[in-house]
Structure 1
Amino acid sequence: MSGFDDHLAGGVTTLCRAWALRRADGLLRGFTDHDRALSFDGIDFRPETGMSASALVQGAGLAADTSEALGAISDSGITEAEIAQGRLDGAELRIWRVNWANPAQRALEFRGRLGEIRRDGTLFRAELRGLSDLLNRPGGRVYQKRCDAAFGDARCGFDASRPGFTETWPLARAEGGTLRFDWTEGPESGWFAQGRAEVIDGPGAGLSAPIREDRLADGARLVELWQPICADLPPGTMLRLVAGCDKRAETCRLKFDNFLNFRGFAHLPGTDWLMAVPRSGGA
């Protein structure tokens, strides 16, 4: 912030905003609402997107900082495809107030993540969520029969990459939300149901989708997704299929032999037992 306060106090200012956006896959890009490119901290900030932001609401307490970003969808900036594919969901965002005549004079104005993104014709509107928004997430555990761990995470403890539980195969054809593989060997029908399909290469590399149904039919394996992957998936695209877990104690014990790490309460009484009342009559 060297000299920035003096610049603000001088009466005549040359200010703009600069944005650094880092997606979950690590891609870092810079944008600015100035009419010329800026560069600092090793980031080039481009003006082509026409991005702007409403007034940033910030407080000294724990209430979430909020704002909204507005920008144009274009091939050189934020694209329609990456919005549809969800590649910007939860992207890390930093916003500076910058003296464009001397970018060394700047102040970090906002740090947080992108929230909900909405389309508005050829524009997009993105909610900005400050770091304090993380404090609004519910914590703790819920008493329930089914496991509350994410399959393959540290609490689950199961290595999902083990042979037989993760398979990588070339795609034969994609029809909407159904993926066809010319592969009938390996696990039985339903093995990958409630698992996930991950795209390894091609235009959709890095994208994934939950699997609704997995079955063998007509000499092929058909994998039906809950929603289509928003990317071109030409024949030959390599996909990784991860076995599904329905969170039941029986599945944890019989399919994965991982019952010692089961994170549910398998013997919790059901609602029928809780609503039962004594009745008179014969034994």
Structure 2
Amino acid sequence: MTVTTLARAWAVTRADGVVLGFTDHDTALSFAGISFRPQAGMEAQAVVQGAGLAVDNSEAIGALSDAAIDEADIIAGRWDGAEIRLWEVDWADPAAHRLVFRGSLGEVTRAGGAFRAELRGLSEALNRPVGRVYHPRCSAVLGDGACKADLSRPGLSGEARIEQVSGARLVLSGLHGRDDRWFERGTLRITSGAASGIAGHIKNDRARPEGRREVDLWAAPGILPSPGDAVRLEVGCDKSASQCRLKFGNFANFRGFPHLPQEDWLLAPGAPQPRRAEAQPSFQPAEDPEPGEAGAGA
């Protein structure tokens, strides 16, 4: 009878820097500076890989537990986009291991005390559309290499404290000198408390007297913060040419086409043109009378 000593081990690196190791072997393994725990509530199915440019894919499934994979962390989005590596390893000699998959976690779903996560290989990036989009608004991401806006400038971010929480609406205090709607389309990051590290996209931002603000997020945080928790607000951009010029002084790097014709004009080329001023009638001399009519009625 042939006995195999092959096992699988995988490591997950979350966006907040936490690294967790798992293995389907019945004892702990250690290599690459990571300790891989057995029966820790996670296992990976077979990885589907190809030699070409097809997207590699698999799934990770497991049970939710306080020791390794906490449901609150999944709700808070701390597992979204986490980097994942999968090895085949000789459990009798862990130094003999081979990396067979590297990618990231995709959609994470949960039901009945268990979770299921899609594994996306490195070739997943090939599914993204590339190329220039011709649109009146800017196609760059605020602060990236195309935008080049300096987001470290004073006034483009601010620190505040939470006064009240009601779902996706937060009332903040301690933030003075920012115009109404200054942070719309920006980011709110929770920097203390149980929800520390969670970020949300700002839908509405309203300045109130005495440094108070009412901020609506597009979705409520997975873990609701508490009054007194600290937050950081980062400026937003509506991608318009006027805001690029007036708010950021960055019009030289604007990546839109503000003078494109309107879409209605493009879709209806047969539409009537704007009415022009009508020409004034010109003077026409009277026609000569027919022969025999001259002097008629005299």
Q: 1:236 to 1:161 in 2, by over 3 A?
A: farther
Partner of 1:39: 30
1:31-87 CA distances to partner (integer Å, 9 max, x unpaired)? 112222111111100124232222221111110111111111111111112211211
Partner of 1:4: none
Moved over 6 A (4+): none
> The residue matched to 2:109 in structure 1 has which SS?
strand
Quick one: which of 203, 218, 237 aligns to 1:226? 218
1:4-27 CA distances to partner (integer Å, 9 max, x unpaired)? xxxxxx931122211111112222
Paired-residue identity, %: 52
Deviation at 1:168?
0.9
Alpha-carbon distance between aligned partners in 2 of 1:179 and 1:75, rounded to the nearest angstrom: 29
- 1:94–1:112 CA contact under 8 A, matched in 2: yes
Deviates more, 1:269-278 or 1:74-83: 269-278
Partner of 1:20: 11
Deviation at 1:270?
0.9
Matched, 1:204 2:195: yes
Residue-pair matches, total = 274
| Structure 1 residues 181-260: aligned runs within 5 Å | 181-183=172-174, 185-217=176-208, 220-260=212-252
Q: 1:278 to 1:110 in 2, by over 3 A?
A: closer
> The residue matched to 1:19 in structure 2 has which SS?
strand
Matched, 1:85 2:76: yes
Quick one: which of 61, 66, 70 aligns to 2:61? 70
Larger Rg: 2
Matched, 1:94 2:85: yes
Aligned-CA RMSD value: 2.0
Unaligned runs of at least 5 residues, structure 1 = 1-9
TM-score by length of 2: 0.85
Alpha-carbon distance between aligned partners in 2 of 1:16 and 1:192, rounded to the nearest angstrom: 50
Alpha-carbon distance between aligned partners in 2 of 1:80 and 1:266, rounded to the nearest angstrom: 46
TM-score by length of 1: 0.90
1:210-235 CA distances to partner (integer Å, 9 max, x unpaired)? 11111134753111111112224222
- 2:161–2:174 CA contact under 8 A, matched in 1: no
Q: 1:38 to 1:164 in 2, by over 3 A?
A: same
Amino acid at match of 2:43: S
